A and B are shown apart, each in its own frame.
Chain A
Amino acid sequence: MTRLIARRILLALPLLLVISLLLFAVLHLVPGGPLSAYLENPNVRPEDIERLRRAMGLDRSLAQQYVSWLLAFVRGDWGYSYADGQPVMRRLLERLPATLQLVGSAVFIALLAAIPAGVYAAVRPRVDRATSLVAVAGISLPVFWFGLSLQLLFAGLLGWLPSSGRSTFGGGSFGDTLAHLVLPATVLAVVLASAWMRYLRRTMRETLAEPFIGVARSRGVFERTLLWRHALLNAAPVFTTVVLLDASMLASGAVVTESVFAWPGVGSLFVDSLAKRDYAVLMAFLMCGSAVVVALNLVSDVVALWLDPRRRATLP
């Protein structure tokens, strides 16, 4: 087990290296590169641009720039935000709790909905048809439009919930935060749950077709125990993998939701930095987002092994 984890970590490193190379290329191969914002500004003189170029080390070869950027990044020196001169790492870290709160709540809500829906869809044709409709609709929803519509309905027309932000000015009690959290968390949860209930349904179907289920049934195990214990526990490893992988993809899904609801997380920081062409923040966000995906890939492999004794037995 330890050897396997070590091997997976060793495989993840070249993956991260390729990702860093790709991201660096995207930023630097476009005309103007990181200075494009200044190039378009008629008030910035050519000699100023030349000075900036030297100051930022953009006059060196691309390879040199890449290596020094990568080394600095690994050391934790992510540069300074162009917008306010603060260290990028501090800006990202101060936004992280809000994002974790939002994503955590969304995953929780999505699991509460997806597990019963997926389990019943596997055994009841009527539930199956209903959930498959809901699922296709859920993955087809433009997230920003769904967010705007909920805002319009619950904050604008009905006035039940606040439309944006994380707390009322001067507020910040538990109830206040919860009221602000409901809409953005629901938007993310709907998208997640739509995918998850179909996955769970499929794995439950496959599990229910296995011989051991028939054996348990012939021993007189209650249908309900059969479904929720015997089948669900066996479907759990695959389902957990999917949940962990999707949760990692929220790094990008949260960008849209956070920005629509002005949720002060990492995602809305990305959108703000996009408008300001704050490339140090954008690059750090993309690198960290990809690293989270790589890390959760690894975690999901390990968790699946840990949950599934059958797979552990076949380990070398």
Chain B
Amino acid sequence: MTRTSVYAAYSAPGIRFAAFVVGALILAALLAPFIAPYAANAIDLAHRRAPPSVSHLFGTDELGRDLFTRVLFGARVSLAIGLISAFVSVAIGVAIGATAGYVGGVIDALLMRGTDAVLCIPRLPLLMMAAATLHPSVPVLVVLVGLVGWMETARVVRTEVQSLSEREFVAAARAVGATPLRVVWRHVLPSALPVVAVASTLAVARGILLESALSFFGVGVQPPTASWGSMLYQAQTTLTSEPWLAVFPGLMIFVTVLACNSLGDAFGTLRAHRARQE
């Protein structure tokens, strides 16, 4: 791969667009109180179930609440759960993957067979059962979603750490007497950062999808808090009469996950190019 094609991968229109979408979504979520045309849960019984119009871009719900406003505030919940749950799963995945890859031997075998076992359990049903038993608040929900998403990260980090451990700079660090923890933390993991970045981006997408599915089945985010998934749960019964209530929140989930997945893909391709260059 030549230098120019790496540059091309960076500047491909798809990536820039995906990065722009992610940035805009986060900004919109942060600035929701300032952008939103109406107050967060303002009830307007005179304009109930109004289809999308100029004054209500996405229409209104059965209490006359502006759907655009609700989607903006829902973005805060959905994005926060996606981002923080990704952090949880990447933290667990890196810890397990790095230990298995660096220590090797029996520990590696045990950790990886454990990872295989968890990967065999159908993810969403397991999460649904746990959520139905626990009635999680939003922070607990974040941890639950994070707990079922670390396996992929653990696998890729293990492979990367294994191959990095055989490099000279790691041997050098060990030779000057650095402890194993220090070698992994200061020398191996920084070099594994690109792999972790790809895994994190994909984990955000997965976290948002899992949370929305849980909320869609009524075992995720509970009212009065609303995420995009729980808005879809409420819209299900009035699908034919007020389709906009389902269309817009779902579209937001789709666009967000699509942007995260494209970014992850692009990072992945870029990393593969770099690796081949070396």
Contact = CB atoms under 8 A, between A and B. Distances in A.
Interface of A: 14-15, 18-19, 22-23, 26-27, 30, 32-33, 36, 136-137, 139-145, 148-149, 151-152, 156, 249, 251-253, 255-256, 259, 270-271, 274-275, 277, 282, 285-286, 289-290, 293-294, 297
A50 B258 CA distance: 50
A145 B128 contact: no
A151 B232 CA distance: 14
Nearest to A143: B213
A26 B130 contact: yes
A251 B122 CA distance: 7
B125 A255 contact: yes
A290 B122 contact: yes
Contacts of B260: 140
A140 B219 contact: no
28 contacts: A18-B113, A19-B121, A26-B130, A27-B129, A30-B134, A136-B258, A137-B258, A140-B257, A141-B254, A142-B213, A142-B216, A142-B229, A142-B254, A142-B257, A145-B253, A149-B246, A152-B246, A252-B123, A253-B124, A255-B124, A255-B128, A286-B121, A289-B122, A290-B121, A293-B121, A293-B122, A294-B120, A297-B120
B188 to A, nearest CB: 28
B240 A285 contact: no
A289 to B, nearest CB: 4
Interface residues of B, number: 44
Contacts of A15: 113, 116-117, 120
A270 B261 contact: no
A297 B113 CA distance: 14
Given A144-B232, A282-B129, A286-B122, 13 more contacts: A18-B114, A142-B257, A144-B212, A144-B213, A148-B232, A151-B239, A255-B124, A256-B216, A270-B125, A271-B128, A274-B129, A274-B132, A286-B121
Interface string B110-143: 0001101110111111101110111000000000
A285 B240 CA distance: 32
Contacts of B123: 252
Interface in B219-261: 219, 229, 232, 236, 239-240, 243, 246-247, 250-251, 253-254, 257-258, 260-261
A236 B130 CA distance: 38
- Classify the secondary structure of A's interface with B: helix
Contacts of A151: 239
A27 B132 CA distance: 10
B262 interface: yes
B121 to A, nearest CB: 5
CB-CB nearest 5 A-B residue pairs:
A145-B250, A252-B122, A140-B258, A18-B117, A140-B257
A36 B135 CA distance: 10
A22 B117 contact: yes
A155 B59 CA distance: 23
A87 B122 CA distance: 23
